[in-house]
Chains A and B, each alone.
Chain A
Amino acid sequence: MSTHKNILQDGADRLRAPVAALLLMALLVCWPTSSWAQSDSARTLFADNKAGILQIRIIDITSGSKSAIGSGFVVNETGLIATNYHVVQMAASKPEQYRIEYLSASGTSNSLILVDVDVINDLALVQATGQITPVLPLAAAEPPIGVPVYALGNPLDLGMTVVPGTYNGINRTSYHPRVHFTGSLNSGMSGGPTLNQVGEVVGINVSTAGNQVSFLVPVTALQQLIAEHQLRGQGVENIRQRIGQQLIADQQKKFAQLLALDWPTIALGEALVVNELSPFFRCWGGSNSSSDKAQLLNADRTCRSEDNIYLNAKFNSGVIEHQFFWLEADKLNQLQFYAYYQRLFSDFAPGNKAREKDVSDYQCDSEFVAVNNVEAQPERKTKAVFCARAYKDYPQLYDVLFLQGTVDDSRAAFISHFTLAGVSRENAKAYARKFMEVAQWQ
């Protein structure tokens, strides 16, 4: 049995602050769930809704056996079922290799057709050929923080399970809103509903950070997707094109918002660097100033938007990362300091992960630029590097990497860096322009 991967897996980043590990998501391990006294509410909810919650299976057509599993639930009388995009992604990308099917609690199974996706919110709609009851009602209002809610799904292919937990509101620290659910979601529960005490769907299970910290897609995103689908009246013809349009529209909205901001700055050494742009940016920093063994002063600040759009198990997008280094030679002589600076400069990596079938190789250029107060300080030399790789399936979208290093008479240096994943050409250029303007050695 192969279980699906979670959307919030970390990209490989060689320079990431270790604090980022805090948010490292892992769904592949099975944690022992804490025992609880099953309330009447959970018992009734489970009994009433069991039939409307289905196991979604991705079947390899050639071998006839399941390649991935998740959960889903019935959202209307026509047999429309909601689940996560990452549950059905294999079938969406390779319809010739995989088909989708459901298995109900009563043991009936039938095939499903993918009709729409919302890749930004990790949602998908699949259509069954006949009616399935009961339909799970979607909550009209967000529940208050602290109320008990119940996640349902099929963890680890163990059968339908109910997991009680607490609704902790919409998490404002990610660009795409997620409900913070205190309860243990496990692999296979993705796409299942989380219900309030009266049996209304308040969120869709999507990911976990372990230790009872789990996340749900807010039900409003599902409501919107269903409305769009009903308006269209039929399934989306070209899912890939639909995903491309959603990515384009999402980055357009996000960057319009970010570029319109007056970017806050914070001092790092003698430089001013970009501070937390918005609540969904998380920043960490550190320095070696207290180390006796340190030969030089190295202070850094890293900001990252916790915003991963799952495109497939090995390809995610949406992340924005800023990184700044302030270096002072201290005990090192010029040449040694320069050797360190050069080593640091050569070691930058993208913030998201991707494979050859998803993106092109990075194309790069490097130039000397006259920035960082060079008129007043002509001895400062700045070199800027810009790299871009194009998305193969989604035209007009790129991952970009910018890196700029300035050094004066080799006693101090300032490195600024950003990576953007899934950005249009114009937004990337505008971002680079603004970034170079704001992050400056004073």
Chain B
Amino acid sequence: MAVIIELLGWGGKRQRYFTVEGPAVTIGRSYQNDVVLGDGHISPEHLRLDAIDPSNGVEGGWQLTDLDSLNGVEILKNSHSTSSHFTRADPHESNSLTLLGEGAELKIGRTRLRILSDSHPVDPAKELHHLEQDVGKLNRLSIWLPLFLLSLTLDIGALYASSYIEWQWKNVLSTILGTQAGLLMLALFWGGLGRFLRSESHFLSHYCLILLAGLAYSLSDWLIGVLGYNLGTQTVALVLKPLIALSFAGLLLSANFALATNMLPRQRWVSALGFVMLIIVVSITAQVSQWGEFSPYPDYFSGLEVPVLQFADAESAEQFVLGLDPIFAAADRMALD
């Protein structure tokens, strides 16, 4: 039975592993060891592991022997039934004996190791999600460049359309650069996470996803504006806008998770939903303090759209005046509260 010695990196991720045949393994910095490590804080002969065969009630595992190392052996995790008595091998007590179970983690010098047998079970393969394959295609120049240009054009266009002062490119540039810097930072975050968790960043895919979500949100925002304008109420926007914003945020997050992490689809959706719930709770908390606050200014619906987008019918001035009574009645009710 071979012993597997895994070298763990940041976050417990495996960086390298050694397979050693035979009943005993020595680990240290000198070349005579079975596992030779370069960490300068590891002694030339640091420790030895002796396999214990499982037989008549004796639990299998390894016996750890600290070979009088300078910095000792720290046991980070040990599943052996006797381990509770030996959570840490005392470096000052030479040749102390400790039993290690399957999957035990040690730290020697600044290096983390995991001890496994070669029969240790591994997780079943995860199915590649179709999203992952499709989203991966966003990396292509033919996709991300047009998308980037489209969003840039729309950004500038929207700024131009809403600007009624003298057009100054320097102001526009600073706004656009600010927005793009924000988007890139977000994409960089996801890319970095992907690089760390899956060794592939998909930076451009993340960037494209964020752009797509932004475009979709802008479009729905505009449609809601038109709807609210025709219905003459801000309740529509008040309810629909956060709903749509949150669903897009959820979708975007889920896709980001799919690209950047090893999560299963369910975990991904739950995480995205959890994040969205968090936003909801935070924004509700922020708004609770505002509820019922008096304002000396009227909060009327000022949403306006270009005339061609008005589909609702207009009433006569007389009908308008006759319809004012409910406003007075509502004001009376509020004054009595």
- Chain A residues with CB under 8 Å of chain B are 12, 293, 295-296, 332-343, 345-346, 348-350, 353-356, 359-371, 374, 379-392, 395, 398, 401, 403, 405, 407-410, 425, 428-429, 432-433, 436-437
Contacts and interface: CB of A to CB of B under 8 A. Distances in A.
Interface stretch (B85-93, B187-195, B239-247, B306-314): B306-314
A338 B306 contact: yes
Given A367-B323, A410-B306, A433 B296 contact: no
Nearest to A372: B317
A346 B328 contact: no
Nearest to B300: A364
B202 to A, nearest CB: 37
Interface in B309-336: 310, 312-321, 323-328, 330-332, 334-335
Contact of A368 (B161, B300, B314, B325): B314
A123 to B, nearest CB: 27
Nearest to A384: B320
B300 A387 contact: yes
Contacts of A366: 232-233, 300-301
A332 B160 CA distance: 10
Contacts of A386: 320, 324, 327
A390 B164 contact: no
B162 interface: yes
B302 A368 contact: no
Given A367-B315, A392-B335, A296 B323 contact: no
6 contacts: A350-B298, A364-B301, A365-B327, A384-B320, A403-B300, A407-B304
A136 B315 CA distance: 61
Contact of A389 (B232, B303, B331): B331
Q: Chain B contact residues: over half helix, strand or loop, or mixed?
A: loop
B123 interface: no
B166 A364 contact: no
B306 A293 contact: no
Given A362-B300, A364-B298, 5 more contacts: A343-B164, A355-B296, A362-B299, A385-B301, A428-B324
Contacts of B304: 338, 341-342, 345, 383, 405, 407
Contact of B315 (A370, A381, A405): A370
A379 B307 CA distance: 7
A336 B163 contact: yes
B295 interface: yes
Nearest to B303: A342
Contacts of A407: 304, 307
B294 interface: yes
Contacts of B233: 366
Nearest to B337: A360
Nearest to B332: A390
